[in-house]
Chain A
Amino acid sequence: MDTVSVVSLRQVTKAFDKFTAVDEISLSIRQGTIYGLLGPNGAGKTTTIRMMMRIIYPDSGEIDVFGAPLRQVAKDRIGYLPEERGVYRKMKVIDLLTFFGEIKSMDARAARRAAHEWLARLELTDTATMKVEELSKGMQQKVQFIATILHAPDLIILDEPFSGLDPVNVNVLKDIILDFHRKGHTVVFSTHMMEQVEKLCQEICLINKGRKVLEGPLAETKKGYGRNSVTIRFQGDGSFLCDLPQVASSNNYGSELFLRLKDGADPNAILRAASDRLSIQKFEVSEPSIHDIFVEQVSAG
């Protein structure tokens, strides 16, 4: 087994009654990476993560965390932000954070100190003695995020961490994730918001309907799709471009058009065809975005 794997799944399957949520998924998450678990809603992301945490158990297959089946002690080295956010709403923020630190085997005083530091960094200092239920939804999310990383876990697992946050707070969280990454912590997060993946992740795993569609380093994955994508911004009706023989698939946004070309097709042919009938503002030959790969893979599957 790969010794630098923090998490590895081998042929893991989990079914709920007749519905197979996760179907023979194997994956390996290397130490120190930011790993994106991607997939549409209901693909099996949350089930996969819950099995990593041993909150639920796989029907078959093996899961290793830190090189061994997850034990109680190892849970202290993991910070987990579930998709379903939940806190003790009647508790004071500082008491809640201290408690979550304690059940990660932190010393109460250390937990309290760390909580105050994080509250300050996330501009929540004033809320320390307030009850959680008195905070806005966004603030509660930030408090829960602090609870996840309070004990500086080696492995941080975030299930849809950015959902429901405004762009400013998304940036704050992103910076914290990158900080941990720089210090060598491993971050796993699941999302269906592709822009974040593009910017943050080094490795991705795309799953759909419980099965793994592709896995690997982001750059390589994109390279695998080649530089045969074209983005055109224009004025006029460009829909005829989608029907050109060189085009494998297309995505029409009205004034911007995204085209994937067939193997060996010449992008210049597209440019010529377009320039005859449209006023072109931008023409770019590029790698496909993760979003495009995602849409293509999911709609193909």
Chain B
Amino acid sequence: MKTWYIIKREYLENLRKKSFIISTILAPIILLGFYAIPILAVFFVPGDQISIAVLDRTGRVGEDFVTSLCDTLKDGRPRYQATVHGAEGGGFDERKDMLIARITSGALDVLIELPVDALESGTVNYISKDVFNENTMDDLRDKLNPVIVNQRLAGRGLDYDQISALTQRINLNENKITKSGVLEEEQVVGRLIMVVVFVMILYMTLLSWGMSVQRAIIEEKSSRVIEVMLSSVEPRDLFLGKIIGVGSLGLTQLAIWSVLFLAVGLSSAVYTAGFMNFVQINPMDIVYFLVFFVLGFMIYSALFTIIGAVCSTEQDAQQLQTIVVLPLVLPIMMMFFVIQNPNATLSVVLSYVPLFTPMLMLARIGVSEPSLWEVWLSIAILVISIYAVTLFSARVFRVGILMYGKRPGLREIIRWSRYA
């Protein structure tokens, strides 16, 4: 019962704090800035038009090449504005100088020069201020290649229509099998992005709220309020009250974010039906996310509690907390491997390590839907670990909260945990 008042105080006092309000508003903006915008930009920002001049000394390739440059940008405008140049009124070289001058002045982006022997040698000059734009270069190479091949084949007397049919490229279609059926290619990308975003949010919330528990306990110690508290409640009440109080704040923050996300999603033109289809969230994702947040928070807050209980000041704690932050960071470093190889032995084993389970199992569930018993096994291991760690942590907490001054060594901490 007294635990309830401690939870209530911890929750309400922190809810009113500026730091909570700021982090709740700021975090999504930062997350959006660092992760979502670059990713979304690739898919939704139209990009710039590229003007191309084709100086065709062969006289046989230019027209076909320009015709094949029919891509459009996201907003419907053509991606390329291409013109073919011959030797009109003067030599090719003069023409080339003129075009290069236009590139220098910025009026032209790219000059493609097809030498006289382009068909035989297969060498084409790409002239631009920007020769590192792999995307454009690859695309132009891919477009030019069939035109030249077709011309070579035509030179050997093949019929043009036949050539097109014969040189038709094969297409590798990405079809991901899920329980609900087969996803289309674009949806697979959306799915991956969602998994990354979910895991990143889990990492950020576990880290920040775990450290909040640690801070709350050190605050209790450094303000010396702990002795007053212990004259009214048992250490267990305080321990549970702190963890549950801070955890509820974390859940509140997640709830606010979800509501914001939905509100923006439903009201904004950016999040059209197409977008909702693209991001590929299903209700089970949310459920798993919440389950792994709660479980992850429990195990990490118990660990951060130990740090808080054995340290007297924030500075003291900063050195020690690396030990707890490290197992949080490691899954983030492993995340891309796990997402690419969700069923590799390494991924499977790592996802059963209790400290990694929340993030890595969430990632595996997101990309490969492991069988249900795997998920439950990892959760069971995690729950048992939570029990053990919490028991240890609560005992260290009871002794540590009244200790000031010199930080105890590991051996001393273990001795504390054995006190009756």
In the complex, what residues of A have CB within 8 A of residue B5's CB?
99, 102-103
Contact among B1, B6, B231 with A75 in the assembled complex (CB-CB below 8 Å): B231
In the complex, what residues of A have CB within 8 A of residue B226's CB?
86
In the complex, what residues of B have CB within 8 A of residue A85's CB?
224
With an 8 Å Cβ cutoff, the count of chain A residues facing the other chain is: 27
CB distance from B404 to the nearest CB of A (A): 9
A40 to B5, CA, bound (A): 38
Chain B positions 209-229 with a Cβ under 8 Å from a chain A Cβ: 223-229
Extra pairs beyond A72-B233, A80-B227, A87-B225 (18, CB < 8 Å): A50-B227, A55-B231, A56-B402, A57-B420, A78-B231, A80-B231, A82-B231, A86-B224, A87-B228, A88-B9, A88-B223, A91-B9, A91-B13, A100-B228, A100-B232, A103-B5, A103-B232, A104-B232
B2, B5, B224, B227 — most chain A CB neighbours (10 Å): B227
B201 at the A interface (CB under 8 A): no
Asked whether, in the complex, the Cβ of A103 is within 8 Å of the Cβ of B227, the reply is no
Asked whether, in the complex, the Cβ of A55 is within 8 Å of the Cβ of B232, the reply is no
A84 at the B interface (CB under 8 A): yes
In the complex, what residues of A have CB within 8 A of residue B233's CB?
72, 75, 103
A82 to B228, CA, bound (A): 7
Chain A positions 35-85 with a Cβ under 8 Å from a chain B Cβ: 50, 53, 55-57, 72, 75-76, 78, 80, 82, 84-85
Asked whether, in the complex, the Cβ of B224 is within 8 Å of the Cβ of A84, the reply is yes
A90 at the B interface (CB under 8 A): yes
In the complex, what residues of B have CB within 8 A of residue A88's CB?
9, 13, 223, 225
In the complex, what residues of A have CB within 8 A of residue B227's CB?
50, 55, 80, 82, 84, 86
B5, B224, B232 — most chain A CB neighbours (10 Å): B232
In the complex, what residues of A have CB within 8 A of residue B234's CB?
72
CB distance from A79 to the nearest CB of B (A): 8
A147 at the B interface (CB under 8 A): yes
In the complex, what residues of A have CB within 8 A of residue B9's CB?
88, 91, 99
Asked whether, in the complex, the Cβ of A53 is within 8 Å of the Cβ of B231, the reply is yes
B69 at the A interface (CB under 8 A): no
In the complex, what residues of A have CB within 8 A of residue B17's CB?
90
Chain A positions 254-286 with a Cβ under 8 Å from a chain B Cβ: none
A144 to B225, CA, bound (A): 10
A232 to B119, CA, bound (A): 127
CB distance from A74 to the nearest CB of B (A): 11
CB distance from A81 to the nearest CB of B (A): 8
A236 to B178, CA, bound (A): 106
- The contact string, 1 if C-beta is below 8 Å from chain A, for chain B 4-22, is 0110010001000100000
A89 at the B interface (CB under 8 A): yes
B230 at the A interface (CB under 8 A): yes
Main secondary structure of the interface of A (DSSP, over half): loop
In the complex, what residues of B have CB within 8 A of residue A104's CB?
232
Q: Which residue of B lies closest to A144 (CB)?
A: B228
- The contact string, 1 if C-beta is below 8 Å from chain A, for chain B 231-243, is 1111000000000
A99 to B229, CA, bound (A): 11
CB distance from A144 to the nearest CB of B (A): 8
In the complex, what residues of A have CB within 8 A of residue B2's CB?
103, 105
In the complex, what residues of B have CB within 8 A of residue A56's CB?
402
In the complex, what residues of B have CB within 8 A of residue A87's CB?
223, 225, 228
Query: Could you show 12 A-B contacts with beta carbons less than 8 Å apart?
Result: A53-B230, A55-B402, A57-B420, A72-B234, A80-B227, A80-B231, A87-B228, A91-B13, A102-B5, A103-B232, A104-B232, A105-B2
Q: Which residue of A lies closest to B233 (CB)?
A: A103
In the complex, what residues of B have CB within 8 A of residue A55's CB?
227, 230-231, 402
- The contact string, 1 if C-beta is below 8 Å from chain A, for chain B 384-410, is 000000000000000000100000000
CB distance from A44 to the nearest CB of B (A): 16
A188 to B255, CA, bound (A): 49
In the complex, what residues of B have CB within 8 A of residue A103's CB?
2, 5-6, 229, 232-233
In the complex, what residues of B have CB within 8 A of residue A91's CB?
9, 13
CB distance from B215 to the nearest CB of A (A): 13
CB distance from B353 to the nearest CB of A (A): 37
In the complex, what residues of B have CB within 8 A of residue A100's CB?
228, 232
Q: A102-B5, A103-B5 are in contact. Are A89 and B228 (CB under 8 A)?
A: no
CB distance from B204 to the nearest CB of A (A): 25
In the complex, what residues of A have CB within 8 A of residue B230's CB?
53, 55
Chain B positions 222-276 with a Cβ under 8 Å from a chain A Cβ: 223-234
Asked whether, in the complex, the Cβ of A90 is within 8 Å of the Cβ of B224, the reply is no
Q: Which residue of A lies closest to B229 (CB)?
A: A103
A91 to B13, CA, bound (A): 7
Q: Which residue of B lies closest to A85 (CB)?
A: B224
Contact among A72, A80, A82, A105 with B224 in the assembled complex (CB-CB below 8 Å): A82
Asked whether, in the complex, the Cβ of A89 is within 8 Å of the Cβ of B223, the reply is yes
A99 to B6, CA, bound (A): 8
In the complex, what residues of B have CB within 8 A of residue A57's CB?
420
Asked whether, in the complex, the Cβ of B13 is within 8 Å of the Cβ of A86, the reply is no
Contact among A76, A80, A102 with B228 in the assembled complex (CB-CB below 8 Å): A80
A147 to B224, CA, bound (A): 15
Chain B positions 1-49 with a Cβ under 8 Å from a chain A Cβ: 1-2, 5-6, 9, 13, 17
A103 to B233, CA, bound (A): 7
Q: Which residue of B lies closest to A133 (CB)?
A: B223
Contact among B6, B13, B228, B420 with A147 in the assembled complex (CB-CB below 8 Å): B228
In the complex, what residues of A have CB within 8 A of residue B6's CB?
103
CB distance from A189 to the nearest CB of B (A): 15
CB distance from A236 to the nearest CB of B (A): 50
Q: A91-B13, A103-B2 are in contact. Are A86 and B225 (CB under 8 A)?
A: yes
A53 to B402, CA, bound (A): 13
Nearest 6 CB-CB pairs, A to B?
A86-B224, A86-B225, A80-B231, A82-B227, A84-B224, A103-B232
In the complex, what residues of A have CB within 8 A of residue B228's CB?
80, 82, 86-87, 100, 144, 147
A57 to B229, CA, bound (A): 16
A55, A91, A144 — most chain B CB neighbours (10 Å): A55
Q: Which residue of B lies closest to A90 (CB)?
A: B13
A100 to B13, CA, bound (A): 14
